[in-house]
Structure formats: C-alpha cells, structure tokens
Amino acid sequence: MHPRLFKTPALAAALIALIGVCSQAQAHNPMCECKAIEDGQIRCTGGFSDGSGAPGVTLDVIGYDETILVPGKLGADSTLTFKRPDSEFYVLFDAGPGHIVEIDQADIEAP
Amino acid sequence: MSKKSRSKLWFLVHSWLTLPIWFFVLIVCVTGTLAVVSQEIVWLATPEARATQPSDDAPLLTYEQVLSAIHKAEPALAVQSISRPDESHFALVASVVYPDGRSPSLYISPYTGVIQGESPSFDFKAFTRALHGWWLVPFTNGYSWGWYLVSFLGLPLLGSLITGLVVYKKFWKGFFKPNLRFKHGARIFWGDFHRLCGIWSIWFIAVISITGLWFLIQAFMFDNQISISTAGNPPVVARQDVPIMPDGKPAPQISLDQAVKIAADNIPGLEASFVSLPSNAYGHIEVGGPGWYPLLFQTADINPYNGAIEGSRMIADRSGLELVTESMRPLHTGDFGGLWVKLIWFFFGLILSMMVLSGLLIWTKRTALATANALKRSEKPRRAVAVTAHSQQPEEANV
Amino acid sequence: MSKAVAAQPTSTLSRLWHKWRFHINILLLLVPLGFMPKYFADASLFRGDSGLGERDIGTVQVGPWSLQLAELRNEAPRPDGPAGYMKSFNAALCDTCIDQVKAAYLRIGKPRSLRAAGVIFFGTPYRMGATLPIPERTKADAELWITLEGWDGSMHQAAIPLSQASPATIAWLAQRGAK
C-alpha cells in the first residue's frame, strides 16, 4: 500500500524499492498558499511539498453558495492572481479528485 | 613546505580519513556489497522465488493471464501490481492484499500463473538495503539522519581515492607490474594488497563515492524543497471520466493486456516489466519498464476506463540534469545490466571492504612496530620525550 | 605536523581523543542495533501483519456503508515541509460495500462539496490509507468527516470527534496552542 502522490512514478517505484517501508517521507503532498497583495488582489501559489511547482493545475475561487466566482488555472510560474470577490469565498486548488487544497477566505494573509 | 613534508601530510590525511570510524565504514561496505546481490541471495534461499520453465517452448503468460490465474486461485485477493524481474530465472512478484489486510508479495510462476509462495515477513532484501542505506534510522521528518550519516561517507571515500593516488607515486606503473610480496611479512603483504586493489578499483571507488555523495545532495535538496523535476503534475483521472453506474457496481475497466498494448503501440521502446493497477477509482494503470537506456525506467499512465494515455515519462522527457541524477542510483547499486553487472559490483564491493580492512591492518602493524620501537628506546631514558611523540604518531612512519 | 601535536601532549582534549577515538565505532554500531526493533515493528505495520494501524479507532457507519478506521501511527502529526503537518489514517471497507464504494475521503470539518471532500484513500478496499493535513489552528472539538462516494453517484457522510480519531493529535494541538 503506497497511499502517496508522486510527481514521478518511475522515481516512486525506485524509491519504494529502495526505501521500502519508509517511503512515506518521500510523499509529495499538494500545497497551496494565498496572500492578499496590493489593489485588493489575491495571489495564490500552488505546488507540491518536494518543492516542485504545479503549473496548469485548476484553481477555482468558489462562493460559500458553491457558485464558481473565478474559474482559473495556475500559470507557468504556478501562481494565479485574482481580484478579491465581494462575497464570501474559498479557494480550491484542484489537482484531481482527492488531490485538493482548500483555503478559506479567513486564512488569507493581509498584505 | 618541502616536497617531503607535503607528501607526509597527504599520507597523514589518507591514513586518518576514515580511521576512527573504520568499523562503521566496513559495515557499510559489507552491507552494500550484500545489498547488490540481495535479490540473488533471496533466489538462492527461497525456492518459491525461482521460475522454472516447464518445457523448452513454454510461453510466458501475459499480465492479464497472470491476474486471472491469481483470481482463480484466490478470488478474494486484491492485486496491486505485478512485476517481472529482468532475468528469466526469477518468479514474477505480485504485490497483493488479503481480505484480512495483510499485504505480502507473492511469487508467481511466469509460465503457469501458479502462486508458488508468499514473501517471508523478514524481507532480507529490504533489510540489507535499509541497513546500508540509512543505518535503520527511521524517516520521520524528511530524510532520516541515518541516510545523511551513510551518504556523507562518500566524502572520505572520495578523499581516500584522491589522497591515495597522490601518495602512491606513479601508481599507473602498478597496472603493468602488479606487485604482491608474500614473503616479507604481513605488513608488506597488506601494503601491496592495498595498493594493488586500490588501482584496480579506481573506477569503482569513484562511482560509489560520487553516487553516494549524490544521495547526500538528493536528501539535502528534498529536505529543503529544491526540486529539479520536469515530471509535471501527477496524473489523476478526472471525475467526469469515471462512469456513474446505475446498478451501483464498479465501472468496467480495460484489461492489463489492453493497457500494455496501448502503451506499446503509442510509445515505441516501452517494454512492460511491471504493471500497477489503479490505487483507487481515480487512479491510472501504470505500465513501465526499461527503455533503450538501461539505467532508467519509462512509464505510461493509462486511464482504465477509456484507455487514454494521460501521462508518460520517457527517457527523452528527462532533462540532461535528470538523466545524470536519475542514473546515480542504478550506478550505485549495479542494477542495470543483469546478473553480470551485479556480480562485478559485488566483486569490487568485496575488494573495497578488504581495502578498509587492509588499510586498518597496515595502520595497526605500523602502530605495533612503532610501539615496539618505543619500548626499545625507552630503555634509554634520555630519549624518552622524543619517543612519546613518535608513538603517538606512528602512522607517520614511511610508506 | 608531528611537532604541533607533540608540543602539547598534555592537552585534555587531545588525550581524550587519543584514548577514545576508536570508540566512535561502538557508538555508531549501537545506532542500528537500537533502531532494529523499531524497524521490524514498522515492517510488520506496513505489511499489515500487526493490524490496520497502530491504534484502532473502530467501525464507523457511513450511510448504508461502514468502514473500519485506524491511526497508522499512534502519534502526533508529522511535518511535511511547506505542506504542513500530516496525519495518516488507514481504513478497510465492510465486506458488502467493497463493490459499491467508488472512493473514500477524509477531511477535518464538514466538506462543502464532494469536490472539496478532502484527501482520498489509496490502496485496496481491505487496506487503504490517506494522509490528511492537520491545520495548526484546528480546534480541540473538531470533527473528522468521512465521505464515501458510491459507483451509483450517491454520497454518504459521517463524522467522529477528532479526539476519538486521534487523541495524540488533540494532545499535539493543545501543546502547540499553549506555546
């Protein structure tokens, strides 16, 4: 059982062979961080815990009523900048079912 | 500094590089040597891990045939992956889970699909690799400190090689005139042995120390979130691609053979040496194996519902830097060219272990000699002070 | 070189070094010996020989289905670099629901939608694992929500107190909160 998300399957196979029971340390968990920047904008940066980026991954800004306010994808630099919505919202970094990071508006740092 | 004292200094550095930790270095060398052939040792010790061709023309089963055979014998078993070791005398290895949650590996006949046995709970291969690789120190937060401890040895090893070559003047002459003197006492014999092994192991020590240092760099990079990966985002089957089944039963999936065929048809050069089944409903069937460059694996991720290739990692996809860094592990373990390469690595691993021992023997012989001299001289009290200084630095005696 | 050393033969440090330098080997050898029981306990844990996890949580009823849940390790969340602290759980689906459940998810707090149901379980229905991020501001009365998605498109949820799911995590949160 290797309930892990690896960026490189071949590397994962090698690591599992090498590390055996200790492969947990090499798991690459998805991560996402959002910060308020100037002009009421918010910038979110996605990636994986091994330090690699996540360009092209879906990042949606969703209202508390579940309407998608800003549908987006991370750019080549693994970031997405959007205007802070007027209504209550959360940010969903979505690399696929079960590979998500959710950030509530309350957890977005002020500039 | 005079030429003589400079060479003395080099010699001192060479002697002292690993001396205080000689036993640690020796055990790392010996366990590494064993780890190289651990798969072969398991093969020797475990008849179930062997593959015997029933007749000369008996064909190998395909992955789907193997899977069916497993399910026929054990209908409740969940299979996670099937791999075909790269030599035909090994049985297939299937990673499975029983309904009670036990998840051993099974040895499967590649010709009949018969389950020959279960891997023992003591996994010799994993144990020697864990002992050699990270000194059994658990991974709790990033890489274990045991990993750092062992991989750091690459530095004194490389240092020993360099200082050894500096100290051993005109070492290349040793290739043409091998010198192993048996009749001049142990000290001379082990000195000759150490030098002879050393020059023939230059390439091996360089490979092991440089790849070992790479493991140090790799751990440092991982623990500091420095990534050089160009692999892209891990593929996950999109929610809309997984059918909703009105009858509530699992959606039908393509067979393993179809997956292998799709991979082979679309990705020239991909040889399937393992197949991993999806790890959940949003997972891919992964087909992988070595390509034209034997050191690295190529993989393809195939959507189990529609057969689309949704991820692949080929030799050509790697950056130049990745080609070099991903080659480090197979180069270190000798696991890239079948049994013969492993046996060469095993042989030189033994030689390297012997060099640690012979280096130590030379050092102790010299210490013994110097101590004997010291005792002799201490009968002359006037020279006592000088003697003390000498007996403390016996390794400085001439080569 | 020899002169430098000989000039101060009485230095305490150098005397200690000369006397004990080879004992480093013994210390280094004690390391794998000391970790060996831990190594074999972990090997048995990951092979499923010693149960679903280090600490069984029990069976949780989720709509028409149920699953057994266990903490992989009976200990505080482990750090995973910038992704924060992670806690691994293992689960096994009930015999009758294996063919009906498409996916299982874990989240701290009630999910807003199926899409935001949390982290997914990997493995086989007999033994699967999920690694859940534990935000440091998680409250002591937080709940662990389990979402099961059926092949027929249905979705069922259940919650258990985090204090029941992982007392070690609650203790860890309290300790961090105190700082």
- B23 and B58 inside one domain: no
- C27 and C61 inside one domain: no
Which residue in the block uniquely carries the two structure tokens 């979110």? Answer: A44
- C89 and C124 inside one domain: yes
Q: What's the pLDDT band for B2 if we cut at 50, 70, 90?
A: confident
Amino acid at C17: W
- C119 and C173 inside one domain: yes
What is the pTM assigned to this prediction?
0.89
Encode burial over B130-143: b for 16+ CB neighbours within 10 A, e otherwise: bbbbbbbbbbeebb
Chain B contact for C63 (CB, 8 A cutoff) = no
CATH number for the domain including C64? 2.60.40
Please give the residue range of the domain that contains residue B100.
47-119
- Whether B246 is covered by a domain: the verdict is no
- Whether B237 is covered by a domain: the verdict is no
- B31 and B111 inside one domain: no
- B151 and B179 inside one domain: yes
Chain C contact for B16 (CB, 8 A cutoff) = no
Averaged pLDDT score across all residues of chain C? 92
The phi, psi pair for B96, rounded to 5°, reads: -130, 165
* A30 in Cβ contact with A99 (< 8 Å): yes
- C38 and C63 inside one domain: no
- Whether C16 is covered by a domain: the verdict is yes
Substitution target from B125, B229, B233 for chain A, most A beta carbons within 10 A: B233
- C79 and C45 inside one domain: no
Choosing from B68, B96, B119, the residue where a domain stops is: B119
**Whether the predicted pLDDT of C1 surpasses 80:** no
Q: Look at C79 and B141 and tell me if their CB atoms are within 8 Å.
A: yes
> What's the confidence (pLDDT) of residue C102?
98
- Whether C2 is covered by a domain: the verdict is no
Q: How far apart are CA B189 and CA B197, in angstroms?
A: 12
Number of H helices, E strands in chain B: 14, 8
- C42 and C107 inside one domain: no
- Whether C6 is covered by a domain: the verdict is no
- Whether B110 is covered by a domain: the verdict is yes
Chain B residue numbers touching A20 (CB-CB < 8 A): 123, 126, 129-130
> Of A19-23, B114-118, C98-102, which range is least confident?
A19-23
Q: What is the mean pLDDT of residues A28-36?
A: 92
Averaged pLDDT score across all residues of chain B? 90
Chain A residue numbers touching C48 (CB-CB < 8 A): 1
Chain C residue numbers touching A92 (CB-CB < 8 A): 115-116
- C27 and C82 inside one domain: no
Greater confidence (C79 vs A17) lies with C79
- Whether B179 is covered by a domain: the verdict is yes
Helix axis angle for B22-36 and C24-46, nearest 10°, is 30
CA-to-CA dists, residue C105 to B317, C56, C115, angstroms: 33, 18, 10
- B183 and B213 inside one domain: yes
Please give the residue range of the domain that contains residue C31.
11-50
Nearest residue on chain B to C82, alpha-carbon basis: B225
With vertex at residue C75, the alpha carbon angle to CA C69 and CA C80, rounded to the nearest 5 degrees, is: 95
- Whether B376 is covered by a domain: the verdict is no
Q: What's the pLDDT band for A12 if we cut at 50, 70, 90?
A: very low
Choosing from B119, B147, B179, the residue where a domain stops is: B119
CA-to-CA dists, residue B363 to B44, B193, B368, B399, angstroms: 38, 14, 9, 11
- C20 and C43 inside one domain: yes
B236 closest CB neighbour out of A20, A53, A96: A96
Closest Cα in chain A, distance from residue C107 (Å): 10
- B81 and B171 inside one domain: no
Substitution target from A1, A6, A11 for chain B, most B beta carbons within 10 A: A11
> What's the confidence (pLDDT) of residue B399?
37
Helix axis angle for A9-19 and B320-333, nearest 10°, is 20
- B343 and B223 inside one domain: yes
B236 closest CB neighbour out of A3, A13, A95: A95
Q: How far apart are CA C157 and CA B107, in angstroms?
A: 39
- Whether B381 is covered by a domain: the verdict is no
- C99 and C125 inside one domain: yes
Q: Look at A18 and B227 and tell me if their CB atoms are within 8 Å.
A: no
Q: Look at A28 and B234 and tell me if their CB atoms are within 8 Å.
A: yes
Closest Cα in chain C, distance from residue B277 (Å): 10
Q: Look at B281 and C103 and tell me if their CB atoms are within 8 Å.
A: yes
Closest Cα in chain A, distance from residue B23 (Å): 24
- Whether C1 is covered by a domain: the verdict is no
**What total of structural domains would you count in chain B?**
2
- B115 and B133 inside one domain: no
- Whether C74 is covered by a domain: the verdict is yes
**Whether the predicted pLDDT of B213 surpasses 80:** yes
- C38 and C108 inside one domain: no
Taking one residue from A and the other from C, the number of pairs with CB-CB distance under 8 angstroms is 80
A51 closest CB neighbour out of B126, B134, B227: B227
Chain C residue numbers touching B80 (CB-CB < 8 A): 123-124
Averaged pLDDT score across all residues of chain A? 80
- B100 and B130 inside one domain: no
Taking one residue from B and the other from C, the number of pairs with CB-CB distance under 8 angstroms is 144
Q: Which domains does chain A show, CATH number per domain?
A: 30-104 (2.60.40.3080)
Chain C residue numbers touching A97 (CB-CB < 8 A): 103, 115, 120
Q: Show which subunits contact B, needing at least 3 CB pairs below 8 angstroms.
A: A, C
Give the contacts of B153 (CB within 8 A, at least 6 positions apart): B18, B24, B25, B28, B212
**Whether the predicted pLDDT of C6 surpasses 60:** no
Q: How far apart are CA B199 and CA B219, in angstroms?
A: 31
Substitution target from A4, A6, A8 for chain B, most B beta carbons within 10 A: A8
Q: Show which subunits contact A, needing at least 3 CB pairs below 8 angstroms.
A: B, C
* C104 in Cβ contact with C156 (< 8 Å): no
Q: How far apart are CA B275 and CA B75, in angstroms?
A: 20
- Whether C5 is covered by a domain: the verdict is no
**What total of structural domains would you count in chain C?**
2
- C106 and C132 inside one domain: yes
Q: Which of residues 332-391 of B touch A (CB under 8 A)?
A: none
Greater confidence (A6 vs B107) lies with B107
Chain C contact for B73 (CB, 8 A cutoff) = no
> What's the confidence (pLDDT) of residue B391?
39
The count of other CB atoms within 10 Å of the CB of residue C115 is: 16
- Whether B243 is covered by a domain: the verdict is no
> What's the confidence (pLDDT) of residue B359?
92
- B342 and B224 inside one domain: yes
CATH number for the domain including B108? 3.10.450
- Whether B180 is covered by a domain: the verdict is yes
Q: What is the mean pLDDT of residues B294-320?
A: 94
> What's the confidence (pLDDT) of residue B270?
85
Q: Look at A27 and C121 and tell me if their CB atoms are within 8 Å.
A: no
* A32 in Cβ contact with A45 (< 8 Å): yes
Q: What's the pLDDT band for C21 if we cut at 50, 70, 90?
A: confident
- C60 and C29 inside one domain: no
- B36 and B56 inside one domain: no
Condensed to tens digits (0 to 9), the pLDDT of residues C42-96 reads 999 999 999 999 999 999 999 999 999 999 999 999 998 888 999 999 999 999 9
**Whether the predicted pLDDT of A13 surpasses 80:** no
Report ipTM for this prediction: 0.90
Give the contacts of C62 (CB within 8 A, at least 6 positions apart): C146, C147, C148, C156, C157, C158
- B222 and B132 inside one domain: yes
Q: What's the pLDDT band for C12 if we cut at 50, 70, 90?
A: confident
B231 closest CB neighbour out of A7, A13, A21: A7
Q: Look at B279 and A97 and tell me if their CB atoms are within 8 Å.
A: no
Q: What's the pLDDT band for B271 if we cut at 50, 70, 90?
A: confident
Greater confidence (C108 vs B87) lies with C108
* B217 in Cβ contact with B321 (< 8 Å): no
Chain A contact for C40 (CB, 8 A cutoff) = no
* Nearest partner of B204 among B385, B352, B305, judged by Cα: B352
Condensed to tens digits (0 to 9), the pLDDT of residues A35-71 reads 999 889 999 999 998 889 999 999 999 999 999 999 9
Q: What is the mean pLDDT of residues B257-284?
A: 94
Nearest residue on chain B to A95, alpha-carbon basis: B236
- B71 and B197 inside one domain: no
**Whether the predicted pLDDT of B150 surpasses 80:** yes
Nearest residue on chain C to B76, alpha-carbon basis: C126
Condensed to tens digits (0 to 9), the pLDDT of residues B332-352 reads 999 999 999 999 999 999 999
Q: What's the pLDDT band for B177 if we cut at 50, 70, 90?
A: confident
- DSSP class per residue in A71-97: EEE--TTSEEEEEPPSS-EEEEEESST
C81 closest CB neighbour out of A2, A49, A66: A49
- Whether C3 is covered by a domain: the verdict is no
* C118 in Cβ contact with C91 (< 8 Å): no
> What's the confidence (pLDDT) of residue B10?
87
Amino acid at A69: L
Q: Look at A29 and C115 and tell me if their CB atoms are within 8 Å.
A: no
